[in-house]
Structure 1
Amino acid sequence: MEASGASGRPPGRAEDSDFPARTAPRCGGLAELDAQVARCRACPRLVAWREHIGAHPRAAFRGWEYWARPVPGFGPPDAALAVVGLAPAAHGGNRTGRMFTGDASGDFLFAALHAVGLASQPTATHRGDGLELYGVRVTAPVHCAPPENKPTPAERRTCRPWLAAEVALLGPGLRAVVALGAFAWHALLPVLGEAGWPLPRPRPAFGHGVELPLPAAGGRQELYVLGSYHPSQRNTFTGLLTPAMFEDLLTRAAVLAGLKTCGRDAG
């Protein structure tokens, strides 16, 4: 017989729409959470799309065995800084099985993390490539690659318990979060409010460089939320987000999180 969780209900099947809500709170650590995330099949549209992409790789990736499952977060379990994106890219994380790995956005992100001393190398090509993050965990509010990079509001709600559990498991050591883009900003704030941090009213609008300090509450330390433009090709090719802008923001976030960096303004 399958064990019941704290609610007294069994976790259910991975295909059930409430699988994340029933499973995520039961996870005793990030390794268990990541394993359960990778099993999830709660959103039929996303399951169909990620598997379709896996069966029809781009010519450049012909011969790859695509991950084609939900992509867990990546980084140490005691991270003081979290970086929250949107969702895995169809031929990036959906291919490699690691968040922000194997696409142009990930190239930009990890190059910046390495430049400020928070990653062991500037590139991320595949799981097992030796990349390590120092005090940083990278995740997303939606763990499956969505068509046109646009998850529906219902898919975001269904996936939200995974992010809520990830925040809870990072524990009181979490000191700062960077939201990459408006989608991440609006997905993240309700999760932090439900975790016990008081949110201001009205909630501040998203913008690059916006800083939102959330006061200590419920055994949790003060948390800083920072907004950044998403490192999408559209934003980086047009110069809306430059490497210098991004490195400065990551350095600021790391300082707020108490992490040692080698950024220009780290001191």
Structure 2
Amino acid sequence: MLDKEIISCDKCPRLREYSENIAKIKTKKFKDWSYWGKPLPGYGDENAKILIVGLAAAAHGGNRTGRVFTGDESGKWVIKALYEFGLSNLEYSTNRDENLVLRDVYLTNAVKCAPPKNKPTKEEILNCNLFLRKEINYLKNLKVIIALGKIAFDSICLAYNVKLKFAHGQIYDINGVKLIASYHPSAQNTKTKRLTWDSWIDIFRKAITMLNMED
């Protein structure tokens, strides 16, 4: 039901127009693709203990493939890290027809549509926060949230009605749920080495360690 509610959302005309236009114009590399071009729901294990929250649907990633963190550079980093810890059956994911199975993990974005220049407005973030709160409530076994970037981090804080400071690697406790802040694995961060593979994997190692402590 939540997936259908997200997909049918039309609260943000600017985002809907942009996502649909991208789906029509496409890019030369993906000219033969039938783009998703709609709001993008989360994906993963309904019994997940870990929730990973990104910024928004990537214009030629999730907005194209119809699945979060699928078909773009950020998705490569996310899925490969999950694979290394045995939380994904695939090392890479390029389309939603692949049988990607996630264990103990749910993936979503703070903003469900692709925003121009990856910059959603405050109103758009607020509109989507309702869905993020519903996703958090849906995950009854949730123990750890990994926030990818400041927008995702602030959106989680908004969902929980708390004020916290973003810093890569920082861990907070919110009502018994651990919140881990991480730089987003965007090309802007990974190619400049602001986020290295080792520091990225360390984020997931912290999450797994906290789950083991819970058990």
TM-score bin (small chain): over 0.9
Secondary structure of residue in 1 paired with 2:207: helix
Residues 36 and 65 of structure 2 are in contact (CA less than 8 Å); yes or no, is this contact kept in structure 1? Answer: yes
Inter-partner Cα distance in structure 2 for 1:142 and 1:79: 20
Pair 1:258–1:79, CA change in 2 (3 A): farther
Corresponding residue for 2:197? 243
Corresponding residue for 2:23? 54
For 1:54-94, what per-residue CA distance to the aligned partner results, in whole angstroms no more than 9, with x for missing partners?
00111010110000000100101110000001001100000
Residues 120 and 133 of structure 1 are in contact (CA less than 8 Å); yes or no, is this contact kept in structure 2? Answer: yes
The CA deviation at 1:118 is 1.3
Q: Of 78, 91, 96, which aligns to 1:122?
A: 91
The structure number with the bigger radius of gyration is 1
What 5-or-longer segments of structure 1 have no aligned partner?
Answer: 1-31, 194-198, 216-221, 260-267
Corresponding residue for 1:161? 130
The CA deviation at 1:115 is 1.3
The one-letter amino acid of 1:42's match is K
Residues 71 and 143 of structure 1 are in contact (CA less than 8 Å); yes or no, is this contact kept in structure 2? Answer: yes
Q: Of 144, 149, 162, which aligns to 1:176?
A: 144
Q: 2:170 matched to 1:210?
A: yes
Inter-partner Cα distance in structure 1 for 2:148 and 2:137: 20
Secondary structure of residue in 2 paired with 1:86: strand
For 1:16-63, what per-residue CA distance to the aligned partner results, in whole angstroms no more than 9, with x for missing partners?
xxxxxxxxxxxxxxxx10121111111110111000000011101011
The one-letter amino acid of 1:182's match is K
For 1:150-198, what per-residue CA distance to the aligned partner results, in whole angstroms no more than 9, with x for missing partners?
0000111111111111111112x110100001111111112123xxxxx
Residues 19 and 37 of structure 2 are in contact (CA less than 8 Å); yes or no, is this contact kept in structure 1? Answer: yes
The one-letter amino acid of 1:244's match is D
Q: Does 52-61 or 109-118 show the bigger shift?
A: 109-118
Q: Of 109, 126, 147, which aligns to 2:78?
A: 109
The CA deviation at 1:257 is 2.9
Residues 51 and 107 of structure 2 are in contact (CA less than 8 Å); yes or no, is this contact kept in structure 1? Answer: yes
Inter-partner Cα distance in structure 1 for 2:169 and 2:54: 15
What 5-or-longer segments of structure 2 have no aligned partner?
Answer: none
Report percent identity of matched pairs.
Answer: 38
Q: Of 216, 227, 231, which aligns to 2:181?
A: 227
Task: Choose between structure 1 and 2: higher strand proportion.
Answer: 2
Q: Of 4, 8, 13, which aligns to 1:44?
A: 13
The one-letter amino acid of 1:238's match is T
Q: 2:20 matched to 1:66?
A: no
TM-score (norm 1): 0.77
The one-letter amino acid of 2:152's match is A
Residues 119 and 131 of structure 1 are in contact (CA less than 8 Å); yes or no, is this contact kept in structure 2? Answer: yes
The CA deviation at 1:98 is 0.3
Q: Show structure 1 runs of 4+ deviating over 2 A.
A: none
Q: Does 46-55 or 247-256 show the bigger shift?
A: 247-256
The one-letter amino acid of 1:75's match is G
User: Mapping of 1:8-23 within 5 angstroms?
Assistant: none
Inter-partner Cα distance in structure 1 for 2:34 and 2:111: 22
For 1:188-211, what per-residue CA distance to the aligned partner results, in whole angstroms no more than 9, with x for missing partners?
112123xxxxx4xxx331111100
